[in-house]
Amino acid sequence: MPKEKNVNPPVALEAMRHSFAHVLAQAVLQLYPDAKLAIGPVIDDGFYYDFDLGQGKTFTPQDLPKLEKVMKKIIAQSQKFERYEGGVDESIEYLQSKQQPYKVELAQELKAAGTATVSFYRNTDPAGKKRFFNDLCKGPHVASTKELGAFKLMSIAGAYWRGSEKNAMLQRIYGAAFATQEELDAYLERRKLAEERDHRKIGLQQQLFFIDERVGKGLPLWLPNGTIIRDELERLAKETEARYGYLRVSTPHLAKEELYLTSGHLPYYQGSMYPPMVMDDGTYYLKAMNCPHHHLIFQQQLRSYRELPLRLAEYGVCYRNELSGTLAGLLRVRMLTMNDAHIYCRKEQIKKEFAKVLEMVLYYFKLFGFKEYSFRLSQWDPTHADKYVNQPQNWEYSQRVLREVLEEMQVSYAAVDNEAAFYGPKIDVQFKSVIGREETLSTIQLDFLARERFGLSYVDEHGTRNSEVFVIHRAPLSVHERMVAFLTEHYGGAWPVWLAPVQVQVIMVSEKFADAARSVAATLSAAGLRAKLDDADETVSNKIRQAEQAKVPFMVVIGEKEAAAGTLAVRTRGGRQLQTLKADEFTAMVTKLVQSRAEQWSA
């Protein structure tokens, strides 16, 4: 046992969650005495701990209630958390004696870094006489288990040791932890909502996409319904970008190594690119970014200052060599269809172009009904000048005008130093989804360096070749894959009419009215609406229920009265019965909703 030196830990929510992780590890060792402990950090809503049970053993969901029961017994004992420090060499010997190889590895790394002592936390009885558990840990922890709040073990997952697929696969147990039971209950309710709205679940129910191992992880296959949503988003982008003066281009999915050496993707981004393909005329790579291709299009002819700003847009497909363990439905994939564009402008045009991009972002967010978002301005730090391109005047100018844009548009933002890309400042759009997940949805990036790497220039008003070309990278609709995931969860699968794969379900009361129903479906389709005829031999109530479950925005029922009068009995999603409408009135109403991209129908 290492020699001890007592240290009092701080008490905080982080300390409480970290303490829960230790209680979990203690419980696991009670049920699995030979388990090897890895790491047990705090996460946003709780904690996790990684274990190696050995000999191919794994936890099952049935183990979680058993572990919770043991944890509650430990907590009820009001065990103390005591911190002490020991010499690194004797600590390594101690951990070796306890047959904890992962902890030994961590302690050896600390020794290699020059650490003389390491810290441990142990659990004891309130009197400090009986010792229950001891773990290599820097803390912090609460003073006693009686200070712990409410918890629940949530799930089990596989995790490579140190995040590398070259290492052992461990078993990770996730837990949620909060100061009060009320907070935990609220979190569990959010989790329930998240499960109900999980884009993977809805994607399967609504037949939007699927992933097949024969194609590969992270490579979704889009079904007809999902392709409709993709196409509508691209149509939205094309129409919006046309209003803002963008020109559309199209570029190959791969290019020679020389292009990516010029752009700097090789060698600096090579780890995220797919391996090279050696052909008879050179070495090729699948493209990870569209920007090098767009730079060549700009450079293809000598540009006049009258052409600037030049805005080149493309829904370009890119490929990222993501680790298989990090892939998650549509949120993280290996093939990305990116709402990409690059704006080539003069220095004095930067502010106006950024403002236009932000205006576009806000338009999209209003259209989708997004409310929980903010902006993050990532700036350079002159005290870390070695991290950034050496253009201090451009840094100061561009950051000032970006702040002015954000302030003049009266949007919530945070300015953060030392987080810019090495070639320019950026604005990230931080988005909080309806299920509480917070991520960066899109980025607007200024680039000082492209002009140097690609020799970008234009002829100015004096007839002089001018190389002061600034590039703005932007993707306000992110990528198809991520945006569809966000929107699926945002709407819970209840798509607004313009995005709904099926906009109108036509339901006939019986086979006698089949011709009338088919005629209505054909009329709606001819008007450009996505209408589907349900001619199954089932009751009307079953057909309506199925359409409700599919969250179709409108249902029209054709019975004897409707067939005779040429009218439609219209129902909306959610069971609302509208007045009987003539076919042309209904068609005009839905067409107007689609054209205006209204989120939902209202009286």
* CATH number for the domain that contains residue 475: 3.30.930.10
Do the domain assignments include residue 549? yes
Q: Are residues 476 and 555 in the same domain?
A: no
pLDDT of residue 326: 85
Pair of tokens at residue 108: 């050896």
Q: Are residues 564 and 485 in the same domain?
A: no
Pair of tokens at residue 202: 């809805």
Do the domain assignments include residue 6? no
Element (DSSP H or E) covering residue 582:
strand 581-582
pLDDT of residue 599: 66
Domain boundary among 263, 286, 309: 286
Q: Are residues 437 and 509 in the same domain?
A: no
Question: Average of pLDDT values for 472-476?
Answer: 95
pLDDT of residue 371: 86
Q: Are residues 486 and 550 in the same domain?
A: no
Among 72-86, 215-229, 376-390, the minimum mean pLDDT is found in 376-390
Please spell the DSSP secondary structure of 239-261, one letter per residue. Answer: HHHHHTT-EE----SEEEHHHHH
CA distance 143 to 587: 68
Q: Are residues 262 and 370 in the same domain?
A: no
Closest among 57, 8, 56, 63 to 30, alpha carbons compared? 63
- SS3 at position 276: coil
Chain centre to alpha carbon of residue 501: 23
pLDDT of residue 440: 84
Domain boundary among 491, 520, 554: 491
pLDDT of residue 9: 37
Q: Are residues 23 and 85 in the same domain?
A: yes
Do the domain assignments include residue 453? yes
Q: Are residues 462 and 548 in the same domain?
A: no
CATH number of the domain residue 549 falls in: 3.40.50.800
Among 88-102, 139-153, 258-272, 431-445, the minimum mean pLDDT is found in 431-445
The structural domain count of the chain equals 4
pLDDT of residue 2: 53
Query: What integer best gives the mean pLDDT of the chain?
Result: 92
Do the domain assignments include residue 2? no
Residue 8: pLDDT over 70: no
Domain region containing 136:
13-189
Which residues are paired to 446 by β-bridges? 472
Pair of tokens at residue 465: 């070749």
Long-range contacts of 302-308 (CB under 8 A, 24+ apart): 302/458, 302/459, 303/344, 303/457, 303/458, 303/459, 304/458, 304/459, 305/346, 305/458, 305/459, 305/460, 305/461, 305/466, 307/458, 308/344, 308/345, 308/346, 308/349, 308/458, 308/469
Do the domain assignments include residue 217? no
Q: Are residues 535 and 582 in the same domain?
A: yes
Element (DSSP H or E) covering residue 595:
helix 583-596
Q: Give the whole-number percent of the chain exceeding pLDDT 90.
A: 79
Contacts of residue 261, defined as CB under 8 A and 6 or more positions apart, other chains included, come to none
Residue 201: pLDDT over 60: yes
Question: Average of pLDDT values for 318-325?
Answer: 91
Helices (H), 122-180: none
CA distances from 369 to 301, 339, 422, 433, 589 (A): 42, 19, 34, 11, 21
CA distance 275 to 394: 36
CATH number of the domain residue 18 falls in: 3.30.980.10
Burial classification of residue 309, based on how many CB atoms lie within 10 Å of its CB (0-12 exposed, 13-18 middle, 19 or more buried): middle
Q: Are residues 508 and 440 in the same domain?
A: no
CA distance 46 to 29: 20
Using one digit for the tens of pLDDT, what is the confidence trace for 535-592? 888 899 999 999 999 999 999 999 999 888 989 999 998 877 777 889 999 999 999 9
Burial classification of residue 116, based on how many CB atoms lie within 10 Å of its CB (0-12 exposed, 13-18 middle, 19 or more buried): exposed
Do the domain assignments include residue 539? yes
pLDDT of residue 6: 42
More confident residue, 434 or 330: 330
Q: How many CB atoms lie under 10 A from the CB of residue 211? A: 17
Question: Average of pLDDT values for 231-256?
Answer: 97
Q: Are residues 17 and 154 in the same domain?
A: yes
Pair of tokens at residue 575: 């069971």
- Alpha carbons within 13 angstroms on the beta-carbon side of residue 138 total 8
Question: Average of pLDDT values for 311-319?
Answer: 96
CA distances from 514 to 35, 254, 506, 510, 584 (A): 66, 51, 10, 7, 19
User: DSSP secondary-structure letter at 510?
Assistant: S
CA distance 514 to 382: 74
Do the domain assignments include residue 601? no
Pair of tokens at residue 73: 């017994």
Domain boundary among 265, 286, 307: 286
Choose from 248-257, 320-329, 508-517 the range with maximum mean pLDDT.
248-257
User: DSSP secondary-structure letter at 417?
Assistant: T
Question: Quick one: pLDDT band at residue 427, thresholds 50, 70, 90?
Answer: very high
Which residues are paired to 478 by β-bridges? none
CA distances from 228 to 61, 198, 223, 386, 480 (A): 38, 20, 9, 47, 12
Q: Are residues 475 and 435 in the same domain?
A: yes
Torsion sign (Cα): 328, 333, 339, 341:
positive
Residues present in the chain in total? 603
pLDDT of residue 268: 87
Using one digit for the tens of pLDDT, what is the confidence trace for 245-257? 999 999 999 999 9
Q: Are residues 281 and 295 in the same domain?
A: no
More confident residue, 135 or 603: 135
Do the domain assignments include residue 466? yes
